[in-house]
Chain A
């Protein structure tokens, strides 16, 4: 019986991890559909930023209520996972609390896990109340209905269930140890672990026989570990991927001044050619360096393939918290633009493309693209490029860069800018100012009263 349980356990872990690895590989394949982005500069600065923002939750706590609760849930999540290590070893070898030899230190750890589990449980309940009962604007936005709304709640339910199972498991285990049940009780007669929270559950177990307690303990133990394996695989389909991706995402995030946009190199080459008085306009185009042969580079982005890999990683990392949208001046004043939706759309389209590749072996044109089918032009043009979204994001996402890439596509590939903007462009081109003034009048102010 015991050996069967061990085999079942090993199989469950292997399958759980196997599917997880397959999903992660798909995700990496999808991210690599994007253009290369060189973010290898300043590793020291990048590690530092990662330590501060991803590990240290620096931006999370700028909103103290959600921030502090998040820190508790985050710490609980990380620390309680030490316990998962023991669960896995116990599961494989059929042992009971393999680390109990550490004595009082072990008791301290288990006791701390219990207190954290309780705090996480309370935190998650507060999160649920914030999402479902309080009227917090960013959780009521139009992009946060259906799946995104359910997804957020499922995660909270999961965590509630996992924490409850952990505590129930401990309570039954504690009672079994008190009953000196074989396999549970330590030879020394001491209690393995400390149960400052679950001991309050003991009255609920009053009068149960050891065999019933074992069933409760085993059931909770199995559901707990299976739940964790399920949750691990749920991540890929959920906004919850941030628990893994926040770290690389912050590492690769923008460290230049937020107002600095990149210069498109291909444009620089063309401009140099145009400005060069010696250039022969009829000469055959120079061999493109590093570009696909015979294909001129597409300017800007109309689909996920045109975005860079950091932007696609951003999309998978987004937790849909809506802090960006909450402070977006366009969104604040009722425009359609929501930076969070830009990220969600990018991910949805990327997943659609990924599914297409899973099915067909390679991407078959589906007649759709990120622009227009997901992100509307009205959203793109409402942006003031104020960089508030970048500043607000607790995990270093840059929605603005995607907006700018789409504007570049509309302007340079489609000549499809808003009419009044095109007038301003024409003025800049013709008289060096966005307004129709003569460049020769530029210094008139110096002589006016």
Chain B
């Protein structure tokens, strides 16, 4: 698919004396991880399609400090937060959208105490609002009638009470939404949170992502839908470890919508 995406930066907007409608916070995973970059680009295609006036920080963006904070390194987290808040406040950012629930949570809930006050949205909530405003249309398309299960990211679902926005989007795609036994408030973690993504797991009988993938496989989905780049990696690895990558895809909801729309 030929890339034809527009990704303006805040610096460019500033130079033109303009302010975007929303800042897209890409996050480390979305910027650097090969799998997550696809999610980033899919989301940008949707933003372009809906004519959303957005910008990214680009090279001025830095880790929010989430892995540092969850690992207990409050000092490093607050250093990162202070730097990011300085940049965000410098650009007078009011509204932020992000494809990563960890960035979402930390900027929304933990930055305000350090002087960073913004309206922060997860991309599923943002996409839902675009649909409601009629700026974006989604029809069944490629996923119509397919069996899909949604894996709730901890920092979006249990952590911030957002369960329905991603499911509403899936319903728009007219999929057959099947729930895992452990879903919503009771959803099991993919195993990446709390900085586990960046370390080897402690000794045990199984890896968390494999256990969670087994729960997903139980409901026989064609696609495991995700809303977090880290969950996506963990579930993708889980599916591979079960040798099911040929018939079970792991996709972010933004990717599903973009694919359904052939963007």
Which residues of chain A have a CB within 8 Å of any CB of chain B?
256-264, 267-268, 270-272, 274-275, 299-300, 327, 329-330, 332-337, 378, 381-388, 391-392, 404, 406-412, 417-418, 420-421, 423-425, 428-429, 432-435, 437, 439-449
Contacts and interface: CB of A to CB of B under 8 A. Distances in A.
24 contacts: A260-B159, A261-B110, A267-B74, A270-B75, A299-B74, A330-B202, A330-B204, A332-B208, A333-B210, A337-B202, A387-B159, A404-B70, A417-B71, A428-B67, A428-B76, A432-B28, A433-B63, A439-B59, A439-B62, A441-B59, A442-B26, A443-B31, A445-B40, A448-B3
A388 B189 contact: yes
Given A274-B79, A388-B154, A442-B59, 4 more contacts: A385-B193, A386-B158, A387-B159, A442-B31
Residue from A385, A392, A411, A423 having most chain B Cβ neighbours under 10 A = A385
Interface string B1-12: 011010101000
A271 B158 contact: no
A381 B75 CA distance: 18
Given A385-B70, A412-B72, A445-B41, A335 B203 contact: yes
A329 B2 CA distance: 41
Given A263-B110, A332-B188, A333-B206, A425 B71 contact: yes
A435 B28 contact: yes
Contacts of B26: 442, 445
Contact of B186 (A264, A391, A425): A391
B117 interface: no
Contact of B37 (A274, A417, A445): A445
Interface in B1-35: 2-3, 5, 7, 9, 26, 28, 30-33
A448 B194 contact: no
B154 A259 contact: yes
Contact of B198 (A327, A386, A388, A421): A421
A371 B196 CA distance: 20
A109 B105 CA distance: 52
B177 interface: no
A335 B198 contact: no
Interface residues of B, number: 74
Contacts of B198: 420-421, 423-424, 434
A294 B180 CA distance: 55
Nearest to A264: B74
B86 to A, nearest CB: 8
B158 A334 contact: no
Interface string B96-108: 0000000001000
Nearest to B208: A329
Residue from B44, B71, B154, B191 having most chain A Cβ neighbours under 10 A = B71
B73 interface: yes
